[in-house]
Chain A
Amino acid sequence: MSRLLSNRFKVPSLRKSADSEYLATILVLLGVWIFLIVISVINRSDFLSRATFGAITFNMCIIGVLAIGQGFVVISGGILDLSITVSMLISSFMTVVFYELGWNTPALIIGSILCAGAFGLFNSILVVWLKINPLIVTLATGFAGGGVLLIVFDRKLVDPKSWIADFGTSYLFRFPTAWWPMALLTIGAHFFFKYSRFGRHFLAVGGNPLSAKAMGISLKRMRVSTFVGAALIGGIAGIIFAGFTPEIRPNAGTYYMLPVIAAVVLAGFSLAGGRGSFLALFVSVGFLSTIPTALVFFGLKSIWETFIQGFILIIAVSIDAYRIVKARGR
Chain B
Amino acid sequence: MATNPTQLASHDHKLSKFEMIKKSLSGPGGTIVIGLALIIGTSAIWVGKMTFTSFNLYLVLGYLAIPLIIGIFASFSLLAGVVDLSIGAMVALSAVVFAYLCTGNVNEWLAAAITILVCLGFGAINGVAIVVFGANPIAATLGMLVGLRGLARIISQMRPGTGSSQDAISLMITGLNNFTEAQISFMPVLFIIALLLVFVTQGIISFTRGGRHVRAVGGDIVAARRAGLATERIKFFSLLASAFGASIGGMLYVGKLGGAPVTLGTNMEFTIYAALMIGGYSILRGGVGNPMGGFLGLLIIAVFANLVDNKGLDTRAADIFVGFLLLIIVFLDIRRGGDAFE
Contact = CB atoms under 8 A, between A and B. Distances in A.
A101 B322 CA distance: 34
A277 B57 CA distance: 56
Contacts of B151: 307
Interface stretch (B127-135, B174-182, B231-239): B127-135
Nearest to A130: B331
A126 interface: yes
B270 A321 contact: no
B327 A314 contact: no
Nearest to A136: B330
Interface stretch (A90-98, A258-266, A280-288): A258-266
Interface stretch (B139-147, B192-200, B215-223, B291-299): B139-147
Given A303-B153, A304-B150, A307-B151, A134 B341 contact: yes
Interface residues of B, number: 44
A321 B143 contact: no
Nearest to A320: B135
Contacts of B129: 314-315, 317-318
B326 interface: yes
Interface string A245-258: 00000000000011
Interface in B311-342: 314, 316-317, 319-320, 322-324, 326-327, 330-331, 334, 339-342
A140 B327 contact: yes
Interface stretch (A104-112, A146-154, A185-193, A194-202): A146-154
21 contacts: A132-B330, A132-B340, A136-B326, A139-B326, A140-B324, A140-B327, A143-B270, A143-B322, A144-B324, A147-B320, A147-B323, A150-B314, A258-B143, A261-B142, A271-B139, A303-B150, A309-B143, A310-B147, A313-B143, A314-B135, A318-B129
Closest 4 CB pairs of A and B: A310-B147, A144-B323, A313-B143, A306-B150
Interface of B: 125, 128-129, 133-136, 138-140, 142-151, 153-154, 157, 267, 270, 283-284, 314, 316-317, 319-320, 322-324, 326-327, 330-331, 334, 339-342
Interface of A: 80, 126-127, 130-137, 139-141, 143-148, 150-151, 209, 219, 223, 257-258, 261-262, 265, 271, 301, 303-315, 317-322, 324-325
